[in-house]
Structure 1
Amino acid sequence: MPEPAKKIAQTLGPGSLKFGKTGAETEFASKVTKATYDPGYSEAETTPMLDGSDFKPEGDWNGGKISGTFYQDFTLAGLEAWCFNHAGETMPFVFTPKTGQGNYKISGECVIKPVSIGGDPKKTNTADFEFSVLGKPRMEATA
């Protein structure tokens, strides 16, 4: 009897996206429709050496960005108001693409930016966010 096929891909979620210090963080997950961490890693250029070999220094972690889309609720407790009120602040973040044992979370620090507010009348509106990540974040196992 053949072995069952191994899972080669997973869906995003259920997961978590938190900003702020542990114990006082703001959870974005319940309103987020898209979440992405882009590492922003750039490779260094290769330099030819006198002996004919090539030297390639380690690349550069420019931090990257944590971005996504969330639903606006037009209240002072909404995420768009939270982004507006914390704009310019450096905050810790934890992005867990999929909860559960054997999966991972990415954590680091980012700079909060305000988002666009509004949209089409009589429609459910969303806002896109993009926060710059400072340095190289950590990737750790989830509990």
Structure 2
Amino acid sequence: MAEKTRILGPGSLTIGANQSVKDFSADCTNIKVTPDTSSEDPDTFLDGHEEAGAQTTTWTVEGTVKEDYSTDGLQAWCLLHAGEILPFTVIPNNTAKLKITGKLTVAPLGFGGDVKARNDIDFSFSATDIATASTATGE
């Protein structure tokens, strides 16, 4: 039986493609790729049988980052790229082989919090085309 990897991190979150990739990894303290599945009510027919309603799943890439007030920080980057649909990759743990990919819509992040503190900012980007793959070459 293969050994299981149950610890999140060290890993990575990158958004973008080619030379325009932004790496969230060094600022991220929490990361989730979260499904939200809903089902329509079933249809009931005169003869008494039921047919299941449609099921839909929407996704978000969400988490928490430490604020960075520099002009090339994540908050400034997200404001600049707000509304863009970009590819993303999440690698939950570098020693495991799992990689989660898809596309997300960048949303702006807020600014500020407690004075003289390292503040956290939560983010949530809607996502599509979620897939898993292996980080191992040739798999």
Equivalent pairs: percent with the same residue?
33
Cα displacement (A) at 1:20: 0.3
Partner of 1:137: 130
TM-score (norm 2): 0.84
Query: Partners of 2:109 and 2:14 in 1: how far apart?
Result: 17
What residue identity is the alignment partner of 1:128? D
Partner of residue 18 from structure 1, selected from 6, 14, 19:
14
- Greater strand content: 2
Q: Which runs of 4+ in 1 moved over 4 A?
A: 6-9
Partner of 1:81: 76
Partner of 1:40, secondary structure, is strand
What residue identity is the alignment partner of 1:79? L
Partner of 1:116: 110
Aligned-pair Cα RMSD in Å: 2.1
Cα displacement (A) at 1:49: 3.3
Mapping of 1:23-102 within 5 angstroms? 23-61=19-57, 63-101=58-96
What residue identity is the alignment partner of 1:55? E
Q: Summarize the Cα distance change of 1:104–1:58 in structure 2 as closer, same or farther, 3 Å threshold.
A: farther
Partner of 1:85, secondary structure, is helix
Unmatched tracts of structure 1, length 5 or more: 1-5
Cα displacement (A) at 1:99: 2.4
